[in-house]
Structure 1
Amino acid sequence: MTAQTRPYNVLFLCTHNSARSILAECIMNRAGAGRFVAYSAGSMPSGEVNPHAISLLQRLNYKTHELRSKGWDEFSLETNPDAPDLDFVFTVCDNAAGEVCPIWPGQPMSAHWGIPNPGDAVGSEAEIALAFAEAYRQLNSRITLFCALPMASLDRLSLQKRLDEIGKSIAPDESAA
């Protein structure tokens, strides 16, 4: 890839855009430290952000007042000619990975970084909170690895290989230490 004069635009996709993609958007915007601008969207947005995701993000001192569940048409050239040019598109749920995506502006690179849906968690409040914390931990690990990549020195093929490897990585369990 060549050096960029603007931040890299990253879109995280999940079917409902209510938990995983929202978490990833927040993590990337913090970890990317101005080098990356993250967005999130869904193919069938739920219309609301999961309250457990909001609660976790607030506990971790993220700003949550502007977060919303939105459709991927906001980022598609077919429906929004003013959509930002995207450099990377990551699916974070298996359903979104199998869907036919719109045409994205900017010819982005893509990869699947599937994470189990914490919104499917059942049990006590503590068990549900643990599922959201685990999704956050996995996404944070992958996004941290991604942000550390030497973008300017990697060609597209090498970068694609790295993106795919990150998607297969499993974050070390810090509690096991």
Structure 2
Amino acid sequence: MNILFLCTGNSCRSILAEATFNALAPDSMQAMSAGSQPTGEVHPRSIALLKREGIATEGYYSKSWDNLPVTPDIVITVCSNAAGETCPAYLGNVLRAHWGVDDPAKATGTDSEIEAAFTQAYSILRTRIEAFLSLSPDCLHDKEKLQQALQLIGHI
């Protein structure tokens, strides 16, 4: 099963989700990430946070959805509609879900406040990924049940 975490810039949230998913998931599942308008670099705070969490960071980079290595089975957008962001719409016959998370790259304030925004984004994504990975095989193999579960997870 191939999961695509999609956002606009592919520098923070989608990279955090991709790396975290790949660190926690069984070999039968693989995550990738991309952006509709990639920034071209992974935010240094994202890399630092992943390293602190013991998650490998090698090989992760900001990339376009035009260059995916495989066609995803599931596309999960992580843009924050509440912040007025427009999520890219992936075209294709795939399951889709929205797991909106505020963009920590846009956080302002003190260094500790900005760091807290990154930690919060990571925590939300990790909780949702863990919920996804705890789904029963029955749910994973039933598209209707999986679609419903993906939508519910997006509200955790």
TM-score normalised over the length of structure 2: 0.90
Cα deviation 1:91-124 (Å, max 9, x = unaligned): 0003353x33243xxx321100000111111112
Instruction: Supply the distance in 2 between the matched residues of 1:100 and 1:26 (Cα, whole angstroms).
Output: 22
Instruction: Supply the distance in 1 between the matched residues of 2:91 and 2:145 (Cα, whole angstroms).
Output: 25
Q: What's the C-alpha RMSD, in Å, of the aligned pairs? A: 1.5
Give 2:90's match in structure 1, choosing from 98, 101, 114: 101
Q: Does 1:87 align with 2:80?
A: no
Q: Does 1:158 align with 2:151?
A: no
Instruction: Supply the distance in 2 between the matched residues of 1:55 and 1:41 (Cα, whole angstroms).
Output: 20
For 1:59, the aligned partner's letter is R
Instruction: Supply the distance in 1 between the matched residues of 2:29 and 2:128 (Cα, whole angstroms).
Output: 14
Instruction: Supply the distance in 1 between the matched residues of 2:64 and 2:86 (Cα, whole angstroms).
Output: 12
- Please report how far the alpha carbon of residue 155 of structure 1 lies from its aligned counterpart in structure 2 after TM superposition: 2.1
For 2:99, the aligned partner's letter is W
Instruction: Supply the distance in 1 between the matched residues of 2:40 and 2:23 (Cα, whole angstroms).
Output: 24
Q: Percent identity?
A: 42
Deviates more, 1:55-64 or 1:109-118: 55-64
Instruction: Supply the distance in 2 between the matched residues of 1:53 and 1:101 (Cα, whole angstroms).
Output: 24
For 2:77, the aligned partner's letter is T
5+ long unaligned stretches in structure 1? 1-7, 76-82, 170-177
Give 2:155's match in structure 1, choosing from 160, 164, 168: 168
Cα deviation 1:73-96 (Å, max 9, x = unaligned): 012xxxxxxx41321110000335
CA contact (8 A) 1:56 1:133 kept: yes
TM-score normalised over the length of structure 1: 0.80
Give 2:121's match in structure 1, choosing from 135, 144, 156: 135
- Please report how far the alpha carbon of residue 63 of structure 1 lies from its aligned counterpart in structure 2 after TM superposition: 1.8
Equivalent residue for 1:73? Answer: 66
Give 2:35's match in structure 1, choosing from 42, 47, 50: 42
Q: Does 1:17 align with 2:10?
A: yes
